[in-house]
Amino acid sequence: MKTPTISLILLLILSCSLAASAAGDFLQCLSEKSDNYSSISNVVYTSNNSSYTSILKYSIFNLRFATNSTPKPQAIITPEHESQIPAIIHCAKEACLEVRTRSGGHDFEGLSYVSRVPFVVIDLINLSEITVDAESKTAWVEAGATIGSLYYRIAEKSPVLGFPAGGCLTIGVGGHFGGGGYGLMQRKYGLAADHVIDARIVDVNGKILDRESMGEDLFWAIRGGGAASFGVVVAWKVQLVDVPKNVTIFQVDRTLEQNATHLIHRWQYIAPNIDKDLFIGVLTSRSSNRTVLVSFFALYLGGIDTLLPLMQQSFPELGLVRQNCAETSWIQSTLAFGGYPIETPLQILLNRTQPTKGFAKDKSNYVKTPIPQHAFEGIWEHFYKAEAMSGLFILMMPYGGKMAEISESAIPFPHRGGNLYLINHAIGWLEENARDSESYVSWSRRIDDYLTPYVSSNPREAYLNYRDLDLGVNNVVGETSYEQASVWGKRYFKDNFDRLVRVKTMVDPGNFFRNEQSIPPLHY
C-alpha cells in the first residue's frame, strides 16, 4: 500500500475541519433563526446524539447506502411542523450545506440521504398526517406518510374509495408522488401524480407555497419531475377514485417446464390491450428447485363471475380457474400485493418498518414492441449465473388503458401511449456478501445490455423512481452542463426535460436543491 502524501493528508484534515465548522455554523444559525429553538432542537440529531445512527438507518431500505464508508449527514432534522423547515433551508444555505429530503427511504440510489459534499437531511417521518374527505373524494397527505397509511385512512372513511398508488406499503408518499407513482390501478386511473390537485412546498427562499401561490409551472414540475429538485414538498392534496365493493385478485405460477416462456410471450400482446379494469403483471424469479418461475398476478375491479369469462376469451392459455382467484375488498387486496394474507388485520398498513432489508441494484426499461420468444430464452440464461443465486427478479407492469390516454406532457412523467409495459429488473444480496457487491451490480448491467435491442430507443426510456446512477450524474460540486444532464434527463422525462430545466431556472437559479440527478438550471 502506498503511503499517503502530505498534501493528501492535509486535504483530508482540512475537509474534516471544514465539515465540522459547517455543522457548527448550521446549529448556531438554527438557534438564532428559529422562533422556538427549544422546539426544533428536540428534532435535530448530530453524530453526538445517541439516536443519530438509529434514526439515519431506520428508513434506509437499500443497505448499499448504510455502510461505514457511506458519507453521513452533518445533521438529521425530523421537523414536526412545516413551519420549522424555512429556518433549516436558510441555515443550510448560510453554512454552505446541501439539503437532502427523505420521506420513506425506498430510494434505489440513496440520493435522499447520501451526498458527496457536506449535507443535512430533512427527514419528513414526523409529517405523516392524513385527512380524508369522503364527500369531496379528496385527501391531504403529508409527505412523510406511507402508501399503506394512506390506504388505511381512506378505508376508514369509505369502502368504495381508493387511490392509484404503489403496492409496496412502506414507501413514503413524498418520493412516490414526486416521481410519478405507478400501481395496479394505473390502467384504470393512471398514476398517483395524475391525481395530485394541490400541494404545499417550501421553496429555496423559505416561503411556504400552495398551488395558487407557486403557480402552474412549478405545480406541473413537482408531479413526476422529482420534487426534491425544486424544494421541500410537505403535503399533497389528492383526488381519490371510485372502487367497487368487491374486487378480484389472482396469482398463477408457471415454470419453464410448464410453458412459461410461451405464456409470457403471449402476455405482451394481451395485458396492455385487455379491459382497463384488469391489470395483469408478471414477476419472474429463480425458484427453489433451480428453474425459472413466472408468476402472473392480477387485480380486477369487479367480481370473479365477470373475470373468468373475460380471461377465457382473452387469455385462455393461462388456464385461470375459480380456485386461483379471491374476491375481496379493495383495501384487503392491498394487503395481498403488499405480501400479507388478505385476512391480516388492516392495522398492518400503518406499519412503516421495512419487512426486509438488503443490498440491491435496480434498473428499468420500457418495451414498445413485443420481445421475441427466443429473446426471453436468452434472459433465462442470466438467471443461472452465480450472482443470481442470491435473489433476483424481473417485474413487468402493463400499460395501455388510461396510461395511453393521458398526454406525455400532462405532467413530467412522459411514458404513456406506445408503451406496452415497464420492465424493472433487480438483484439483491445479503450483507455477508457485501464485499462482492460489484459483481452483483455487474450482473445488473449485463442483463441491461442484453435487453438493449428489445427496449425503447432514442431515447432509451427509464422510470425516475427507479433511479439509476449508471445513466450519468450531475457534478454536484461544480457546474453541470445541460448536455451532461440531458443524458439521463431525456431518459426519465423525454421532451419534458427541457420544460423542467426552465422551471428550475425560474424557481432555484442558484441550484441549491440538487443531487447527482437533479434538474439543473440553464446556466449550470
Per domain, the residue ranges of the chain are 6-123, 130-242, 247-328+355-454
CA angle 429, 117, 62 (to 5 degrees): 15
Fold of domain 247-328+355-454: Vanillyl-alcohol Oxidase; Chain A, domain 3 (3.40.462)
Residue 466 is a catalytic residue: yes
Domain 6-123 listed as CATH 3.30.43.10: yes
Residues of the chain short of pLDDT 70, as ranges, are 1-20, 36-38, 289, 476-479, 524
pLDDT at 39: 80
Residues 9-44: tens digit of each pLDDT: 443 334 444 566 788 899 999 988 877 666 888 999
- Please state the pTM of the whole predicted model: 0.94
Q: What is the pLDDT of residue 14?
A: 43
Cα–Cα distance list, 438 to 360, 364, 435, 445 (Å): 11, 19, 8, 10
Question: What's the confidence (pLDDT) of residue 386?
Answer: 73
pLDDT for the residue 431? 86
- CATH architecture designation of domain 130-242: 2-Layer Sandwich (3.30)
All three cell numbers of 446: 449485463
Of the residues 300, 340, 466, 492, only one is catalytic, namely 466
Given this model, what pLDDT does residue 477 score? 64
Q: What was the pLDDT predicted at 8?
A: 40
Cβ–Cβ < 8 Å for 147, 168: yes
pLDDT at 22: 81
Q: Torsion angle of alpha carbons 511, 512, 513, 515, nearest 10°?
A: 70
What's the burial of 422, exposed, middle or buried (CB within 10 Å: 0-12/13-18/19+)? buried
How confident is the model at residue 18, as a pLDDT?
52
Q: How far apart are CA 210 and CA 207, in angstroms?
A: 10
Which of 54-77 are b and which e, b meaning 16 or more Cβ less than 10 Å from the residue's Cβ?
Answer: ebbeebbbbbbbbeeeeebbbbbb
